[in-house]
Copies of this chain bind each other. A is one copy, B any other.
């Protein structure tokens, strides 16, 4: 969400701004587990299952995975990850911070891990999914807004003159965002998002977006949870949009999603109350705002942060720039066959400074081509 947020950040200072956003809904825990256990093809197993050893290939290297895991100490918790420095770094770090009595032990309540969403947990190319949602919302809302046929930026969307995020200015994107994401409750918004997700699919992969999630990352989320970590999503996307599927797809509940948001207002009508989304930006959670929002909302410095674009750099710096053990990770989109090779110099999910800083800061650059057995 790098460029989107940089663009928006330019604009937000003109509009006045500040903090946090939310949603309302809860569902699909069971679905998430089913999907997770079923996998999307190939060898894909639950990190916290006990009966997986026999399904591993005989040449599979086996790992101990820290406290509380003695019974399954010889099961690889990250079977979709190839052997390499990234996988070693993750396993070694988790083992370190969960080894009671060890020098790097971290109490469970301090095991906070923060993950970017677009490009880190699911596919963001060739277009950020939250963008596609709000652009489609313009079509869905057009009959209630006849004036949009002659008002930019809406008229360009409706006429098909401009398509794709890159053809709109930061201010125009903000205008589309607030017009299509407000004047309803978070619950209503999430229902719209859920409906849209159910009837949309990725242009190249042909799968629903909610299945264009990275299998190695689902294993990592599950592994971290099994080791006592509390996992947050910290995203430039609208947080109610992400909350519409985070529980089902990632097993992450709404209160562990921190994202961009419009302002909220409490209203009461005849004894019925709700908190509605207003057509005004509250916060764009990208760049340094990611670190600031983590501190504001979680109240703790993460010990693990994982992103994929330069907009995630402050989050990684926050996690790894304090005392004590920490781990920073970056997905490097370098697989033109199974996904895309796009991040260097891209207007979507651009990653350049992050690749330069990785060595200096000790972050692991995860080559999706080399480090992952499977992408989806």
Contact = CB atoms under 8 A, between A and B. Distances in A.
Contacts of A274: 318, 321-322
Contacts of A186: 295, 299
Nearest to A361: B271
A314 B266 contact: yes
Contact of A255 (B17, B297, B322): B297
A321 B271 contact: yes
Interface in A251-298: 253-255, 257, 261, 263-266, 268, 271-275, 282-283, 288-289, 291-298
B255 A299 contact: yes
A137 interface: no
B295 A19 contact: no
Secondary structure at the A interface, as helix, strand, loop or mixed, is mixed
Contacts of A311: none
A82 B29 CA distance: 39
A333 interface: no
B255 A275 contact: no
A26 interface: yes
A98 interface: no
A21 B296 contact: yes
Contact of A300 (B26, B272, B289): B26
Contacts of A297: 20, 22, 255, 297
